[in-house]
Amino acid sequence: MAEDLVLDTAIRNWVLVPLSVVMVLIGVLRYFVSKLMRSPQTLDAKIVREGQLIIRARNLRAAGGFIPVKSFRARRFYYTNEENGLLHVPKGQAQNPQAQMFSDPNMAMDMMKKNLSMIVPQSLTFAWVNFFFSGFVADLSGNKINLRISKLPFPLTPTFRSMLQNGIDLSTVDVSYVSSRSWYFLNLFGLRGLFTLILGEENAMDDTQRMMQMGGFGADPSKNLSAEKDGLDIFQHEWTISKMEKRAEDVLRKLVK
């Protein structure tokens, strides 16, 4: 393009700045709304129990040599016997987490609340940006560009076009011009640092993280249990304490001398 598009300062004052400010305000608002909607974490007795059980079984495996063999065997039987051992998970009863999620309405409700606080304001702002800040005519040397655009103060390679000029289908426009829709997206993902400053470390605004969460949802607790059970089953008990008398003798001999 031979001549630069000259931007009206009004575009800066009435589009770019308000858009950013509105994004920040919406972010803050969303944080408080999600804080209000968050239901208090109710612990499930079964889940707590399983977590604690795994710690205890792990301790037994790690330090089993420190207790007499009788006590060890009693504990192992308690954990791993096939009838009612604590670590024994009957076949077929192992629920997969997806099914569990659907069977537990609370969980689904929680997910929905989270999603509500994420998707609804986002789509609303998106619609708002599209509605108000497009359809504008930047009238410059006869060109009619159907979107409001603004310019970044540095040059960029053409690959950034899809990122920065979403909605403008003109290959002749220099890449450092940004369309309003793209400015919105830049703000959406780029303001996380600012939110951390405003709302503190643990704000609920981390969209990228939330998307990750939705991907790999939950690990199967029963798998942990049976892994721990196998570990205990093959554990060879060796009573380390039985050698202690000799060693204590050495210690004392050194001390007395």
| Contacting positions for another protein (CB under 8 A) | 42-43, 45, 48-49, 52-53, 55-56, 59-60, 62-64, 66-68, 71, 241-242, 244-249, 251-253, 255-256
Least separation in angstroms between CB 147 and another protein: 47
End-to-end CA distance of the chain: 95
Residue 35: which of 125, 117, 122 has the closest Cα? 117
Shortest distance in whole angstroms from residue 156 CB to another protein: 47
Minimum separation from the CB atom of position 56 to another protein (A) = 5
> Taking the complex as a whole, how short is the minimal distance between the CB of residue 60 and another protein, in angstroms?
6
- What single DSSP character describes residue 240? G
Nearer to another protein, 13 or 52 (CB): 52
In the chain, DSSP assigns E strands to 134-140, 143-147, 149-151, 177-179
Nearer to another protein, 61 or 151 (CB): 61
In the bound state with another protein, the residue whose beta carbon lies nearer, of 15 and 86, is 86
> Of the two residues 78 and 128, which places its CB atom closer to another protein in the complex?
78
Residue type, 84: N
Nearer to another protein, 47 or 211 (CB): 47
Cβ burial 56-72 (10 Å sphere, 16+ → b, else e):
ebeebeeebeebeeeeb
Candidates 229, 239, 236; CA nearest to 77 is: 229
CB 32, min distance to another protein, A = 16
Contact 115, 124 (CB under 8 A): no
